[in-house]
Amino acid sequence: MKGDKRNSFWLATSFIITSVVALVMLKLNIENFGNHKFGIWLLLSSIWGFGSSLDFGFGTSIVKFVAEYRKVNSENISTLLTSSLFVFIILGGILFLIGNLIALEIYFNNFKIIPEKFRHEFITVFIILGVNFFVRYIIIFFNSIFEGLNEFIITSRLSILQAVLNLIAVCIVFFYNFSIIYLSVGYLLVSSFSLILFWIIFKNKYQKYKLSFKYFSFFEIKKVLRFSLTVQLMSVFNTIIDPIVKYIIGNFYQVNSIPAYEIARRFAIAISGLFFNSFKIILPKASILISREEQKSFLNNALNKYCRFGVLYSGIFYGIILLPFILFIDIVFNLQEVVIIFLILSLPETINNFGYSIYSYFLGIGKVYFLATMQFINFIITIVTVIGGFIFFNNVFGLIGYFFSVVIVNIFMLIYLKRGWDISIVLLLKKTKAYKLFLQILLLFLLLILFLNIHYTNYLYITVFTIIMLAVFINDIYEYSKLLYSEYVK
């Protein structure tokens, strides 16, 4: 338990620091390059962001199987790692070539998205970002090893270091007014340095695990592929939403709104991401649940607690302290559009904090086919409703489709949990106090509609909303505070 707390602490610390640094870099880059030019940069970088998810599920598989092998078959870890590294290198090279070909056809020949005067410059930028993608692709491999070994402190500290170095690179580009090409080169240099650090730490700390071609095994690759290919589908359907939504905004609305979407998305994802990152420990924990009795025990004890904390987390960050977040967005970025999009994205993320623990449990016990189906449903509904929303409303309210998609997927997960393990949904919702979540969603939606109608940020409405949320969650905050205090005293 003590190790879990330390891991969660460092995961949370890492995510907070990297998220804050990312927002600072976003602000500096928009100031330096402007909405249009940096909007194009974000659009192109999102392609490689999507490419990073195309590891055929080997990243998640490494986490799962390293944790499992360490418990029952530790001598097989070297074979797993060597075989997986070979796959990462081959896939990274192939994706680099495919990404360049696709971007040339879809983006660089579309002068509505990339004006002809910027074409040559952004082709160079895209190639540099592609090389950076390949380096980061290999970093995923080493990061997954450490997570499987429950070394979240190492990965967290390296993430913090990488974020700080990226900030230094952005500051140099900003203060010396360098071109956007130098920005891309700066990210590449930082990624390369991070990869070297990962390699050095792995070699020194885990000398018993070897990366040598003599341990390579096609059998091991086939075994992992049976699990990882479905994981890949999940990752693809989830990650591809961001670049497609940006493409939809650029084509069905306006490219200048992409930075506003990116700012709001960064805030919304950062808040929920803090919870996700802190509870990455669920995946390796669930991965070692072999018998049905172990799984049922986990569901009736740990999972209820994780989901309940997710409800409280949403109540605090998307409710009680919503005011300072919106105030910060309004003052720093001074864009009403960002506030509206942030409220829209807060709705699905509020639900995701509840469902994340269930999702991680399914992933850990290997229910990847079901999760892939859920991600596919989420992908289809999101894309269709967002396109329809922009056509019908001709404003950012079109993004509301993502909320309805998340609601549907979480309902399906609860139904599957009930059928597979005979878990009472009503009892689960009662134990986790999900009714408070329903009230919060209703009030958030009302706040969003009010802001859309009045066309400005009304802080009186937000203040009333936060006071109501404080009244709803005050008892839960008190209970958790007492629990944390008693554990600290021990």
DSSP letters for 191-260: HHHHHHHHHHHHHHH-TTS---GGG--HHHHHHHHHHHHHHHHHHHHHHTHHHHHHHHHHHHT-GGGHHH
* Helix, strand, coil share of the chain (percent; to 5): 90, 0, 10
Cβ contact 235:53 at 8 Å: yes
The pLDDT assigned to 234 comes to: 63
Torsion angles phi and psi, residue 46, rounded to 5: -65, -25
HSE (CB half, 13 Å, CA atoms) of 471?
Answer: 7
| CA-closest candidate to residue 432, choices 281, 316, 309 | 309
Cβ contact 449:318 at 8 Å: no
Q: Angle at Cα 135 formed by Cα 151 and Cα 131, nearest 5°? A: 160
- Return d(Cα 294, Cα 370) in angstroms, integer: 20
- Return d(Cα 232, Cα 375) in angstroms, integer: 11
Cα R_g (the chain), whole angstroms: 23
Each residue's pLDDT tens digit in the chain (490 positions)?
445 667 777 877 887 788 788 878 888 888 888 877 777 777 777 777 655 555 555 666 677 667 666 666 666 777 777 877 787 788 788 888 887 787 777 777 666 667 777 778 878 888 888 888 888 888 888 888 787 777 778 888 888 999 899 999 999 989 888 888 888 899 899 999 999 998 888 888 877 777 777 777 776 666 666 665 566 556 666 667 777 787 777 776 766 677 778 788 878 887 887 777 777 777 767 766 767 777 877 877 778 888 888 899 889 888 898 888 888 888 877 777 788 888 888 898 999 888 888 888 888 777 877 888 888 888 888 888 888 877 887 777 778 888 888 889 899 998 998 888 888 888 888 888 889 999 999 999 998 888 888 776 788 888 999 999 999 999 888 887 776 656 545 5
* Range list of H helices, 107-151: 116-148
- What angle in degrees, to the nearest 10, is found between the helix axes of 77-106 and 2-51? 40
Domains of the chain: which residue ranges? 1-239, 255-490
Cβ contact 137:85 at 8 Å: no
Cβ contact 194:163 at 8 Å: no
Tokens of 231: 């994981």
Residue 84 burial (10 A CB sphere; 0-12, 13-18, 19+): buried
Residue with tokens 């500096």: 28
Tell me the whole-structure pTM to 2 decimals: 0.66
The pLDDT assigned to 238 comes to: 67
H or E segment to which residue 476 belongs: helix 459-489
The pLDDT assigned to 441 comes to: 92
HSE (CB half, 13 Å, CA atoms) of 96?
Answer: 18
Residue 91 burial (10 A CB sphere; 0-12, 13-18, 19+): middle
- Return d(Cα 341, Cα 337) in angstroms, integer: 6
- Could you please report the per-residue DSSP string of 151-195? -HHHHHHHHHHHHHHHHHHHHHHHHTT--HHHHHHHHHHHHHHHH
- Return d(Cα 37, Cα 348) in angstroms, integer: 29
Residue with tokens 């509020």: 350
Instruction: Report CA torsion sign: 473, 474, 479, 483.
Output: positive
Q: Who contacts 145 (Cβ-Cβ below 8 Å, separation ≥6)?
A: 62, 66, 81, 202, 206, 209
